[in-house]
Amino acid sequence: MALRIRFDHRFDRLADALLDSLDEAPDAACGHGADRGETTGEREGTADPLAERTVIVPSVGVGRWLQRRDAEQHGISTRLQPEFAGRWLWRTMRATLRGLPERSPFEPARVRWLLMQLLDELPQRPEFALVRKRLREEGSLARLALADGLAACFDRYLAYRRDWLARWQRGQWAGSERPLGAHEPWQRWLWQRLLERLPDVRDEHPYDQFARLLAADDGLVRRALGASRVALFGRLDLSPEQFALFGQLSASIDVSLFAPDPCRELWTDMLDSRSLAAIREQRPDVAWLYEGEPSLLGNWGRAQRDFVAQVLSLEERFGVQADAPGRDEAWPFGDDVQAAPAGTLQALQAAVFLRSDEPWRGLARDDGSIAVLGAHGAVRQAEILHERLLECFETLPRLAPSEVVVYCADVEAAAAAIEGVFDSQPEGRRIPFAISGRAPRADPLVAAVQQLLAMALRPLAAPELDAWMRNPAVMEALALDAPEVELLARWFEAAGARRGLDEEDGSPKHSLRAAIDRLLAGAALGAQQAVGDVLAVPGAQGTRARILDAWLPAGDALATLHAAARSPRPLADWCAALGDALEAVFGEVREHAPGLQRTRDALSDLLASAAGMPAAALDGAAFEHAFADALAHGASAAMPSGAVTVCPLGSLPGVPFRVVCLFGMDEGAFPRKGARDEFDLMRRAPRFGDRLARIDDRGLFLDAVLAARDRLLVLCRSRNARDDTPLNPSPLVDELLAYLSARLDPAAAGAAFETPRRRHPDSAGAPALIEYPLHPFSARSFAADGSYAQEWLAAARELARPLPARAPAIGALVDLEAACAADRPAVVAPPQAATIAVEALRDALADPPASWLREALGVRLLRERPPPDDTEPLWIAGDDRALVQSCVDRLLAGEDARRLAEEFAIAPPTAAGEPGRSQAESIVRRARALVDAAKPVIRAAAPVVATLDDVRIVAAAPMLGADDAPVFVTAFPLGAHALIDAWLRAALWREARGGAPARLLSPDWLVELHCSDPQRSLRHALAWARRIGSEPLALFPRGWLRYALTLAVPPRGGAPRSPEAREAAARERARATLVGTGFGGPAPELARPAAVALLRDAEPDVEAVLALGERVYRPILDDIVLQSRGEEQG
């Protein structure tokens, strides 16, 4: 048996050495096989090519990379079996020690169940008061969360503080004669009780038994393990005691350790910048010993340094001579003699390898092989990444997608941006990519199951239900497409599903169950009518009933889970209940079958983790926590692929790629903030070899930099997308730029460092953060070497033209005089329709930005649908104006007021109980008052039609008063939409039928619409509708109407104001209507989606808006007479 150690700075060569060793028979190199009955082939140094070889790896991704490399050499890889150190050690102990269970009872996922029970048994001692205070919260979630933290903490103690646990077993304190802190007494008590109750464990941990057996009788271990052997590959996170155990095992089996070492020199004494500064201050006489060394190795390489130091101590302790071919090489890139570096990336890697900055002397300039690129957000970073990768494929010979990796500081935040950008490219610029290593919730079905459980455990809120139904996995399970789900969501909203599954946890009127009852009644009756105390809501009748039927199994599963959550129950019952719901809803999915299997596996693993442990009664919140933890442990690992690999940073440590990209390297995103529990005693007594998140992340960054062969691209968010203020990159990016700047410009060394920035495409000069423009169609994107995004070239050319040259296409946004010109033709005259509905004219004049987007650009903005309301509709008069309008329309149609009051009392939009009845009476009373004031008599018999200049204008038949003139009623305060609509209909009526002036009645105004020259009014409307549809105009009717009404209506009470004061007040009110006041109130006019799309956050000149509004809307006010109805005008 033997211990073999190999160091190498080249990860690929280290992997090849591992694969070559797998071809050897056990002990072939040491000559120990002849006396154990091996075959002749084994004695000659060859091994069974199909026999499995265990290789302990730092991550699943590294194991998969080794298997792919093995397959490339042998055509197939069946022998290499990647494994993690902890699992392999436990199986090895089971083969040697009798009675050990298949799974270690000390696994955090298992031991937490026993810890939960022990936490309930904590004695009433003063030294336990701190932990008992933490457990005062109701429910089992607090106990489970604390048990989880303790299980992870004990797992770290088992790896890094075994001496503490041994002292605890003897009743002593961990470090000395007194406890390490207030948390040690209760932890010691729990550990002692834990050893007493764990199955098959008494007084001594199996690890200690195994180590004692190795020291006493390694022959017994050799006979138990046979001719097995194990290889350890890569930078493994093992404690010093675990390293020592593998050394002891080498007396019984072959142990081979393949250790990456980035430096050929002994560098365990390397210092980081802070320590070096202290040396320079305190011992300037020895500081010169550290000059000329690459500071990055000291700043980032502590994790690698500690690993190398532990391997070297293993080498010394067990008296073996490590094989280190790199130590004899003069140059790290395969040459026999030192040469000048080919570029910046090679110079950095050579400096690390040689532990000297000497290679930089041979570099004349920065060649761009290391590029730090800044953008305004994740999507823009993805666009820049795609551009730079296209450049790499064009300039680097024979570069394949599998030779590119994109490491993400936050893969969940980056995945959506990368998928959106890369998938939307035209066929000729498509780059294949594969994202792996994402959290379980990235799988739609896993997310849907977790959300289903959450909805069952807490009062159901309408926005949560709405989002759940739009999940792709839910849509497949219900066999509904997107329009059908949208329809179902609108049905639920119309039927009053706001909060709660049923009346026990929600409103009896606005629960989901009450809403479904209304929809089922509507499906049966086919019309809105009262059936007892239920108002039937139509919609799901006929063929559409299938949509509601598809929902019912999901509703039943939700109700079953909700019933299960009413009281704590054992884990097995919880798993069965969720498993039944899973199969009932998602059991038949095909597209999302992998997520279904992952969820089934998580439930199975969760149930298995508690086998043989005390049965704990869990409430819903605790089970939800345990289920999420089981899903996280079963999450898919990051894997290298045949496409561009996108994965979390640290998933493939050391694996070489020709192009390495670091995505999302923002300040605060990396290094990550790793926080341990406050009761972790290792924080109070740190030791060599302890793992710290910030040190590990620095090591991962160094691994990524050294893994790049041709290019290193670092992307970060460097500017705020809203105001373009600069943002800092990750501190590690700053350190990289500072190091590069100091090496390429020695004069800059030692100076105060501030992130150097340059605007793309200016990339010449010292290393800097290259900042790209906000948009891909910026002219800067196409400067210098240009851009591959040809679809943006036309927009970039247009933007590069002088602004005056573009004015004809911009209209009133630039040229106010031209916009106001009466005879100005439309820029692009649209084809004139033979027949125009009055609604089309109204929409053009009432919302010009949306009309221009629709008519000129063919863009129809979806009406932004607010999320469903999850609150009880309490009685607020301002919120029920739509109901009053509905009641007005139905009263005008001849319906009975008393029946309407009864119907509104049980309608979903009104409150429940007595408040709802009072609200219904108020709605009908206000609607009745408006109708009585309008004094309508009869509806006109036929639609209104008039022909003007070969254009036929049509409108629906209006209600008529006693004088046979149209009467219009609105329940809303007088606004631009209602006024323009009534003005157009009145002018059309006067042109077609003549007669008396029409009337518009609102709660605050009575408006007489004279329209003395209806042809002039209609021609004016038609002309401006054409203009509005063909060019963008700064027309905002709400703001102008507020201005005009303020001037037209005399102020109430007090001394009369001067014309100048009234003008100033009118302009101030118009501005408030346009941009808002900042103190709540209605949404400003410029916040509407169409206005935002037109102006892109720019604020137009109020003077220009009012001047153009005067030109367009003044004829409306000239045709009307306003009479106040005594209510406050807006």
- 612: helix, strand or coil: coil
Q: What is the mean pLDDT of residues 369-375?
A: 95
* pLDDT over 50 (residue 529): yes
Least confident window among 336-340, 525-529, 762-766, 910-914? 336-340
pLDDT, one tens digit per residue, over 952-967 is: 999 999 999 888 899 9
* pLDDT over 90 (residue 1129): no
pLDDT, one tens digit per residue, over 416-464 is: 999 999 999 999 899 999 999 999 989 999 999 999 999 999 989 999 9
CA distance 117 to 112: 9
The CATH number for 368-438+639-782, chosen from 3.40.50.2000, 3.40.50.300, 3.30.70.2660, 3.40.50.1100, is 3.40.50.300
Domain spans of the chain, in order of start: 1-101+211-260, 108-198, 368-438+639-782, 440-633, 801-846+939-1130
Contact predicate 806/798, CB 8 Å = yes
* pLDDT over 80 (residue 1096): no
> What six digits make up the tokens of 1111?
């030109």
Q: State the number of CA atoms in the 13 A half-sphere of 715 facing the CB.
A: 29
CA distance 458 to 258: 52
- DSSP class of residue 868? P
Contact predicate 402/643, CB 8 Å = yes
pLDDT, one tens digit per residue, over 212-221 is: 888 887 777 8
Contacts of 361 (CB under 8 A, 6+ apart): none
* pLDDT over 90 (residue 187): yes
CA distance 239 to 1117: 84
* pLDDT over 70 (residue 863): no
- 233: helix, strand or coil: strand
Structure confidence at residue 864 as a pLDDT band (50, 70, 90)? low
* pLDDT over 70 (residue 1119): yes
* pLDDT over 60 (residue 831): no
CA distance 1109 to 845: 10
* pLDDT over 50 (residue 1128): no
Contact predicate 14/6, CB 8 Å = yes
In the prediction, which pLDDT does 35 show? 39
Q: Which overall architecture, per CATH, does domain 108-198 show?
A: Orthogonal Bundle (1.10)
CATH number of 440-633: 1.10.486.10
- Element at 662 (helix H, strand E): strand 657-663
Higher pLDDT, 38 or 676: 676
pLDDT, one tens digit per residue, over 786-821 is: 788 888 888 888 777 765 565 555 555 545 555 555
- Element at 1065 (helix H, strand E): helix 1059-1075
Structure confidence at residue 268 as a pLDDT band (50, 70, 90)? confident
Bridge pairing between strands 951-955 and 835-837? parallel
Q: Which overall architecture, per CATH, does domain 1-101+211-260 show?
A: 3-Layer(aba) Sandwich (3.40)
* pLDDT over 80 (residue 827): no
Q: State the number of CA atoms in the 13 A half-sphere of 1121 facing the CB.
A: 7
Helix extents (H) in 638-723:
693-707
* pLDDT over 80 (residue 142): yes
- 660: helix, strand or coil: strand
In the prediction, which pLDDT does 830 show? 46
Average pLDDT, the chain: 86
Helix extents (H) in 540-664:
545-564, 571-586, 593-609, 620-633
Residue type present at position 252: S
Confirm whether 1-101+211-260 and 368-438+639-782 share one CATH topology. yes
Contact predicate 366/344, CB 8 Å = yes
Residue corresponding to tokens 């345990």: 626
pLDDT, one tens digit per residue, over 614-656 is: 888 999 999 999 999 999 988 788 889 899 999 999 999 999 9
In the prediction, which pLDDT does 1094 show? 81
CA distance 1062 to 1017: 28
CA distance 138 to 887: 49
